[in-house]
Amino acid sequence: MEESKLIQQGQSTQRNANGCIVALLVALILMVGGLFVFLVARDAIDALLRPKPVPTPRPTIVTILGLSEIAEFATVDIRSVAEVNEVRTPDNLLQYFGGRESLLMLVYGDVKVGFDLSEIDEGDLWTEGNRVMFRLPPPKILSTTIDFDKSHIVDYERSLLVRNDPNLQAIVLERATEDLQKAAIEAGALETAKRFGRLFFENHLRSLGFEEVRIDTD
């Protein structure tokens, strides 16, 4: 009997020991798992909070195709609009039956008027003491720029059997450029450019110390 009790006590002690070992193993696994989850969460949070690296911009390759001197001095800038109506009739028999193609377009443009200073030579500037005489070349139209963002077609018509002329719009723009330049001249742009050019160079030469200044314009 006593031997049986001893055996039972030994078995109970063994079971308790095994239970402690299992509990320790479970606790250790939980600790390791918790530590792993903590490290993973920390890395994820750091990745979210860490500023993203800014990519290094690649250098832009610029190829110089040519250089040119600019010797234009614009004193007047006129912005205006031209209404151009171009009608084209075919060269065949359709012209006798009313065949035609027409385009009405509003063309906005910018005309710059001033002086081409490259036309000045040494004989156009004369100085003596505090006196100076400077002869400007005649003013002229320096450039005409079409504003394609504002320019638009108002009306377009084409007869049934008449083919579309691909050059019609280019012809209208060319006419508009001529009309814008003509309107600028009729508005007195050349005389205004001459007046402002004379005033500018007179003030400029006086600022250099000349007291008697004469500006001539052809």
Would you kindly state where each structural domain of the chain is located, as residue ranges?
Answer: 72-217
How many Cβ atoms sit within 10 Å of the Cβ of residue 189? 23
pTM: 0.64
Name, in order, each residue with C-beta under 8 angstroms of 28's C-beta and a sequence gap of 6 or more: none
Contact status, residue 116 vs residue 75, Cβ threshold 8 Å: no
Q: Mean pLDDT across the stretch 161-177?
A: 86
pLDDT digits (tens, 9 = 90+) for 186-214: 999 999 999 999 999 999 999 999 999 99
CB 172 within 8 A of CB 86: yes
* Both tokens assigned to 86: 């171009």
